[in-house]
């Protein structure tokens, strides 16, 4: 196991087929906060068996929109914005060396659900394509300021991806975690389908 939930997951509620709104009382968009190291008698972070995907296919990965079903709160996406969260990627070279355009969208949980949209301001640089390691930053900044975006697991046919903001180096009670700031932060469960498939999400959690 690489992660575990800090608190029990509740049932999601859906108000519109346009997006997947989440009930804050039931963990909103299902906050994921810890990497489990249950096989160890003491926390060693990152876990010895932590690794990313192999033989990653970037072209396939960026071919469609990803909907976020569970994630860690970070300073740039707090739980108050866990509503209609999705990510889109397109290939495109930039003068600073970035190779992927990144579009993130979220909305406030509170009505009237104000959009928190990155527009065309974010880019990614491929660090190691075969192992699914990229770095993300504002397109206007040098890649030296970019933070890790690692694909831990990905299955296009099953329609899911497991993403980490780098290695989980922070020791916590009962497990390891990435940070909660901007870089080296976050953990996400993506699915191709917008409507939550509880069986699939559980299977992805079990992979981790």
With respect to residue 8, please indicate whether it lies within any of the assigned structural domains.
no
Which pLDDT value is given to residue 42? Answer: 43
Question: Which secondary structure element, helix H or strand E, spans residue 206, and what is its range?
Answer: helix 198-207
Q: Distance (Å, rounded) from C-alpha 19 to C-alpha 65?
A: 12
Dump pLDDT digits (tens) for 131-180.
Answer: 999 999 999 999 999 999 999 999 999 999 999 999 999 988 768 889 99
Tell me phi and psi for residue 2, to 5 degrees: -105, -20
Predicted confidence band of residue 66 (pLDDT cuts 50, 70, 90): very high
Predicted confidence band of residue 47 (pLDDT cuts 50, 70, 90): confident
Predicted confidence band of residue 19 (pLDDT cuts 50, 70, 90): low
Residues of the chain with pLDDT > 70, as a percent, come to 78
| CATH code (residue 81) | 2.40.128.20
Which pLDDT value is given to residue 30? Answer: 54
With respect to residue 137, please indicate whether it lies within any of the assigned structural domains.
yes
Residue 83 lies in domain: 24-207
With respect to residue 16, please indicate whether it lies within any of the assigned structural domains.
no
CB 169 within 8 A of CB 178: yes
With respect to residue 58, please indicate whether it lies within any of the assigned structural domains.
yes
Dump pLDDT digits (tens) for 172-194.
Answer: 876 888 999 999 999 999 999 99
With respect to residue 1, please indicate whether it lies within any of the assigned structural domains.
no
Q: Distance (Å, rounded) from C-alpha 63 to C-alpha 47?
A: 31
- 188, β-bridge pairs: 71, 163
State the pTM of this model: 0.83
With respect to residue 150, please indicate whether it lies within any of the assigned structural domains.
yes
Q: Distance (Å, rounded) from C-alpha 149 to C-alpha 132?
A: 8
**Count of domains forming the chain:** 1
């Amino acid at each position: 196991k690489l992660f575990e939930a800090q608190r029990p997951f509740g049932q999601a509620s859906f108000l519109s087929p346009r997006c997947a709104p989440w009930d804050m009382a039931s963990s909103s968009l299902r906050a994921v906060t810890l990497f489990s190291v249950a096989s160890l008698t003491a926390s060693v972070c990152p876990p010895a068996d932590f690794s990313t995907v192999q033989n990653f296919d970037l072209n396939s990965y960026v071919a469609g929109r990803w909907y976020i079903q569970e994630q860690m709160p970070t300073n740039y996406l707090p739980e108050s914005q866990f509503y209609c969260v999705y990510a889109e990627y397109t290939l495109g070279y930039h003068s600073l060396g970035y190779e992927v355009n990144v579009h993130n969208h979220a909305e406030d949980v509170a009505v009237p659900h104000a959009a928190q949209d990155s527009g065309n301001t974010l880019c990614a640089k491929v660090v190691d394509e075969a192992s699914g390691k990229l770095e993300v930053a504002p397109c206007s900044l040098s890649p030296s300021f970019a933070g890790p975006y690692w694909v831990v697991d990905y299955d296009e046919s099953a329609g899911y991806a497991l993403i980490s903001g780098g290695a989980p180096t922070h020791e916590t009670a009962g497990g390891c975690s990435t940070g909660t700031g901007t870089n080296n932060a976050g953990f996400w469960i993506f699915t191709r389908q917008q409507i939550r498939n509880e069986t699939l999400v559980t299977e992805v959690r079990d992979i981790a």
